[in-house]
Amino acid sequence: MKLNSFTKRLSAMGRWVAMALFCLSTITSAGAFLSGGMAIAAPSLIAASDLGDQVQDKARQDAGRAKNFIRDTADKVEQTAKKNASRVEDATDGDGSFVERKAKRDAARIEQRAEEDAARTQKAVDNTKNAVERTVDNIKDAFSN
């Protein structure tokens, strides 16, 4: 399955968003301070804070979509494994042969692996989302002081 590459892309996207937010905040704040005072800095900080909230909302939304995709993929893998085991059972007339037992064991192992992989990948998505949210919070805290 391509879930591992999906989580790598999601992680890279999170790092990119965090870096973009940091750079934007830095540019906004530098422009405010160079132009002569805190009167201009306050709106810039509010705008940066709003942008940070938008980034966090987007990270939550994307993480939810990614987790739904992961769950759907795991479910489809499990359904396919059951379907294939059923086909083997039908082909062997349900006589309990070695091939039928092996197909059932394989299906059970595939289902278990799909659940484990889905759980591990969903945890990685949560970790990435949390990292983006922490980074945004840290940036907001740094500019609010």
Distance set, CA 46 to CA 40, 68, 102, 140 (Å):
11, 33, 62, 9
Q: Is residue 2 part of a domain?
A: no
pLDDT for the residue 92: 84
Contacts of 74 (CB under 8 A, 6+ apart): 114, 115, 117, 118
Q: Is residue 107 part of a domain?
A: yes
To the nearest whole percent, how much of the chain has pLDDT over 90?
24
Residue 20 vs residue 62, higher pLDDT: 62
The angle, 0 to 180 degrees and rounded to 10, between the axes of the packed helices 3-34 and 38-91 is 180
pTM, two decimal places: 0.61
pLDDT for the residue 37: 47
pLDDT digits (tens, 9 = 90+) for 77-114: 999 999 988 888 888 887 778 888 888 899 999 999 99
Of 73, 84, 69, the residue nearest 115 (C-alpha): 73
For residue 120, pLDDT over 60 is answered with yes
pLDDT for the residue 38: 45
Task: Report how far residue 10's alpha carbon sits from residue 62's, in angstroms, rounded to the nearest whole number.
Answer: 9
| 8 Å CB contact between 31 and 143 | no
Q: Is residue 91 part of a domain?
A: yes
Question: How many domains are there within the chain?
Answer: 1
The angle, 0 to 180 degrees and rounded to 10, between the axes of the packed helices 98-144 and 3-34 is 0
- Residue 140 sits in which domain range? 8-144
pLDDT digits (tens, 9 = 90+) for 4-61: 666 666 666 666 666 665 655 555 555 544 444 444 444 555 565 677 788 888 888 8
Q: Is residue 3 part of a domain?
A: no
Q: Is residue 14 part of a domain?
A: yes
Of 24, 23, 27, the residue nearest 35 (C-alpha): 27
